[in-house]
Amino acid sequence: MALTANLIGDRQTFVTHLECSLTGERYEADRLHGLSQAGRPLLVRYDIEALGKALPRDVLEGRPTDLWSWRELLPVRHTGSIVSLGEIETPLVPIPASGGANVLVKDEGRLPTGSFKARGLVMAVAMAKELGVTRIAMPTNGNAGAALAAYATRAGIETVVLCPDDTPEINVREIAAQGARVHRVNGLIDECGAIVGKGAAEGLWFDFSTLKEPYRIEGKKTMGLELAAQLGWRLPKAIFYPTGGGTGLIGMWKAFDELEQLGWIGSERPKMFAVQASGCAPIVRAFEAGEEHAERWENAHTVAAGIRVPKAVGDFLILRAVRESGGRAIAVEEEALQRATAESALQDGVLLCPEGGATLAAWREAVAQGWVEAGEKAVLFNCATGLKYPLPDRSATLDKDNLPDLARL
């Protein structure tokens, strides 16, 4: 039986329950949850029928284009729980020279704290605030920790962040500058996560690891909601997504399903390409082997720190979306992703992060292999501003007291 919307506090919400992504077991909404009893991520479910009656598409289209314009499709019940730093709709930027005429970059580096991690963490922190969490811990490769620190500080929640000791220095300092206690660990992100899990089991904090709470997916799904609206409710032929934990890819796949249930889009879906680096490609290996789960990748290494995730708890959800869409998981070499990053900047003026460069390299490989057509509309996700990463020094020097022929400059 369809439920009517609940008006709790001062916000309308359509959340009905949470559901285990593996078994379908139902969990009560408005209570603090981690993973399901099966050890898998929980998904938030909505009364889509009631939501559709309450929110005609033309009403949505008349709102300001920011993350919170989608509020009926989000889980936060109380307006007072919202924690915002100005989560704008990010632009779609063409890269005709380094990509192609129909290749668009969704530039998530424009969000607060400079990455798409802001989407997931703003939602997760808002729900943590609503559910009474006072202390959070999380492992990070950099950008997620920065987003958590900013939003948790604004919400008055104490935060501990653990990162691999080779995390980009600017990320480590950014996390600390925004109020979290950050510790460098001599290990990879999943090893940091094991320490976080140990502390959570001891009751020291709530574990905010990727997909170990239900709400980061709900924030990340706004990428898919936005994309559909920006493209006039017609999805692109292909999406290339830099995949570590894969929350955004999972979230977008969920968003497209909810939009179809609302009748706002049809059944056609983009081919979803999960992009990894050849030095850390557990999802690619599982995809190619026809497996449902991905084994841990040993000795993981890549300059694209954000996708250096040896094992993802949502592996089966990533693989399911990729396969159902007719897409693929692609691993790109370091040289290819670095070349793509450089060429996007030099040819199109778009400064991608290394993970974003990996999506451009993957698109080139997909075209070369015939997995997508060069002229088809494709969207590449640039997950963070390139300014967060070390840049090559291409400058020259000039002696003001002994100037050369200036025409040579």
pLDDT digits (tens, 9 = 90+) for 325-346: 999 999 999 999 999 999 999 9
- Whether 104 and 227 map to the same domain: the answer is yes
How does residue 392 score in pLDDT terms, banded at 50, 70 and 90? confident
- Whether 157 and 240 map to the same domain: the answer is no
Give the strand pairing for 271-277 and 328-332. Answer: parallel
- Per DSSP, the residues of 299-359 read T---S-GGG--S--TTHHHHHHHHHHHT-EEEEE-HHHHHHHHHHHHHHH---B-HHHHHH
Q: Which residues pair with 241 in a beta bridge?
A: 274
Q: What average pLDDT score do residues 242-264 get?
A: 97
What average pLDDT is seen over the chain?
94
How does residue 273 score in pLDDT terms, banded at 50, 70 and 90? very high
- Whether 245 and 344 map to the same domain: the answer is yes
How does residue 390 score in pLDDT terms, banded at 50, 70 and 90? confident
Residue 161 resides in a domain: yes
Q: What average pLDDT score do residues 52-62 get?
A: 94
Tens of pLDDT, residue by residue over 285-335, are 999 999 999 999 999 999 999 999 999 999 999 999 999 999 999 999 999
Last residue of a domain, one of 147, 179, 207: 207
> pLDDT at position 1, please?
29
**Are 244 and 277 contacting, i.e. CB atoms less than 8 angstroms apart?**
no
Name the nearest CA neighbour of 36 among 50, 23, 49. 23
Give residues with Cβ within 8 angstroms of 195, minimum separation 6: 139, 162, 185
- Whether 66 and 197 map to the same domain: the answer is no
Structural domain for 278, as ranges: 92-113+217-386
Question: What is the CB neighbour count within 10 angstroms for residue 347?
Answer: 13
Question: What is the CB neighbour count within 10 angstroms for residue 2?
Answer: 10
- The angle formed by the CA atoms of residues 189, 31 and 142, to the nearest 5 degrees, is 20
Residue 1 resides in a domain: no
Tens of pLDDT, residue by residue over 69-94, are 999 999 999 999 999 999 999 999 99
Terminal Cα-to-Cα distance of the chain (whole angstroms): 73
Give residues with Cβ within 8 angstroms of 408, minimum separation 6: none
Q: What average pLDDT score do residues 240-260 get?
A: 97
Residue found by looking up tokens 């974003």 in the block: 356
How does residue 13 score in pLDDT terms, banded at 50, 70 and 90? confident
pLDDT of 270 strictly over 50:
yes
Residue 231 resides in a domain: yes
Query: Burial of 308 by CB count in 10 Å (0-12 exposed, 13-18 middle, 19+ buried)?
Result: buried
Q: Which residues pair with 64 in a beta bridge?
A: none
- 229: domain CATH number? 3.40.50.1100
Report the C-alpha gap between 294 and 291 in whole angstroms.
Answer: 7
- Whether 42 and 102 map to the same domain: the answer is no
Residue 373 resides in a domain: yes
* Tokens describing residue 258: 């909810």
Report the C-alpha gap between 38 and 35 in whole angstroms.
Answer: 8
Q: Which helix (H) or strand (E) holds 52?
A: helix 48-54
Report the C-alpha gap between 356 and 111 in whole angstroms.
Answer: 15
Residue 239 resides in a domain: yes
Phi, psi torsion values for 270, nearest 5 degrees: -70, 155
Give the strand pairing for 15-20 and 26-27. Answer: antiparallel
Report the C-alpha gap between 214 and 41 in whole angstroms.
Answer: 7
Predicted structure pTM score: 0.94
